[in-house]
Amino acid sequence: MTNPSLLILPGDGIGPEVMAEVRKIIDWFGTKRDLAFDVSEGLVGGCSYDAHGTPLTDETMELAQSVDAVLLGAVGGPKYDNLDFSVKPERGLLRLRKEMDLFANLRPAQCFDALADFSSLKRDVVAGLDIMIVRELTSGIYFGEPRGIFEEGNERVGINTQRYTESEIERVARSAFELARRRGNKVCSMEKANVMESGVLWREVVQKVHDEEYPDVELSHMYADAGAMQLCRWPKQFDVIVTDNLFGDLLSDAAAMLTGSLGMLPSASLGAPMANGRPKALYEPVHGSAPDIAGQGKANPIACILSFAMALRYSFDLGDEADRLEAAVEKVLADGLRTADLLGEEGVTPVSTSEMGDAVVAALDASV
């Protein structure tokens, strides 16, 4: 029996630092749980541009298509701000998402009890929070045509087009309903049907998929701006939120701050099933490359570690091991260990990036 395959793309800025801590976790599972992974590594983003003149080579793209899962760190940085749009670091990530057809982006927002007081909202609002935002990832305004900056009369105009087909909405809706069945069995679909025709279509198609295939799941609809307000007012009213590419980008970042830090949040981008029945998948932390703290040992590796936990659950059918890893993270936080992004409370212990990774491994050891 062959080992599951994993492509690691550390990327730019703090990406290599947080990914180094994930490598410790992967090694632990191989040594202590007899769960060996065939791991390969490649370049994406600015580091790929520096080496090859492109943010993603065809060879790395081909490798990403062949493995069971891809784990990515972060891309970008001010060093690359003046590059042509076509070769900016982010284009490498967008190419991965598009060519792997990773249409469903899963962004959990979970507030660990030890961090409930760290959120900008009151403890009773966020304590026990566990919601999932399912964002459509390969269509919508980020990909629609026409797009660009054009001359119109004596001035320039910037154009982006919001475009969705019924089939694109149907498949991400199904992902949300399937996920809800394994959670709290509730889905809230968010759009702007009051002012956008694409929102009208979105609402109609989500409702149709629900009525014909998932009538057992509770479905509600909400305008995306009202949804943003409700996320800040009482986020625990939600279980699974499904929304389009643009609104999902905005709402998931807003939800991120309910938990206290972007450094805590993982994500999974899932596509159609492969020959083995598992979806094509890319896992990455929600945070960016944070070049201002790169190389200083200040980065929080937990989001990247939890992204690997999502890979264990969704790509490798190892839900119990994912639970084990998530419990280890929770134990470390309960013990008061904090990286720089989580300091501010009294009685906590500041730790570096590598020390946080070591602490999670120690908690895993204690769990066996």
Catalytic site positions: 142, 192, 225, 249, 253
DSSP state of 262: G
Token code pair at residue 293 = 């703290």
For residue 135, say whether it is annotated as part of any ligand binding site: yes
Q: Which two tokens stand for residue 142?
A: 């980020």
Annotation-wise, does 365 bind a ligand? no
**Ligand-binding site membership of 308 (annotated):** no
18 Cβ partners below 8 Å, 6+ apart?
73, 74, 285, 299, 300, 301, 303, 304, 305, 353
Q: Buried (b) or exposed (e) across 34-48, using 16+ Cβ within 10 A?
A: ebebebbebbbbbbb
Ligand-binding site membership of 77 (annotated): yes
328 with 367: CB under 8 angstroms? yes
89 is in an annotated binding site: yes
Please name the amino acid found at residue 186: K
Q: How many separate helices (H) and strands (E) can be counted in the chain?
A: 12, 14
Q: How far is CA 83 from the centre of its chain?
A: 26
249 marked among binding-site residues: yes
Instruction: Report the distance separating Cα 72 and Cα 24, nearest Å.
Output: 16
- Please, what is the angle between helix 245-258 and helix 224-233, to 10°? 10
CB atoms within 10 A of CB 32: 13
Q: Is 280 annotated as a binding residue?
A: no
Is 347 marked as a binding-site residue? no
Q: Annotation-wise, does 5 bind a ligand?
A: no
Tell whether 80 is in a known binding site. yes
**Cα(98)–Cα(95) distance, integer angstroms:** 5
CA torsion through residues 80, 82, 87, 92, sign = positive
**What is the rounded CA–CA span in Å between residue 304 and residue 285?**
5
Residue 189 annotated as binding site: no
Is 177 known to sit in a ligand binding site? no
295 is in an annotated binding site: yes
Is 297 flagged in the annotation as binding? yes
Question: What are the phi and psi torsion angles at 28 (to 5°)?
Answer: -60, -45
State the Cα–Cα distance between residues 19 and 35, nearest whole angstrom: 19
Omega within 30 of 0 (cis) for the link into 55: no
Whether residue 300 is annotated as binding a ligand: the answer is yes
Q: Is 84 annotated as a binding residue?
A: yes
278 labeled binding residue: no
Residue 21 contacts by C-beta under 8 Å, 6 or more apart in sequence?
Answer: 301, 304, 305, 353, 354, 356, 357, 360
What's the half-sphere exposure (Cβ side, CA atoms, 13 Å) at 94?
13
Say if residue 85 carries a ligand binding annotation. yes
Residue 79, annotated as binding a ligand: yes
Binding residue positions for Mg(2+): 225, 249, 253
Binding residue positions for NAD(+): 77-90, 288-300
Binding residue positions for substrate: 97, 107, 135, 225
Binding residue positions: 77-90, 97, 107, 135, 225, 249, 253, 288-300
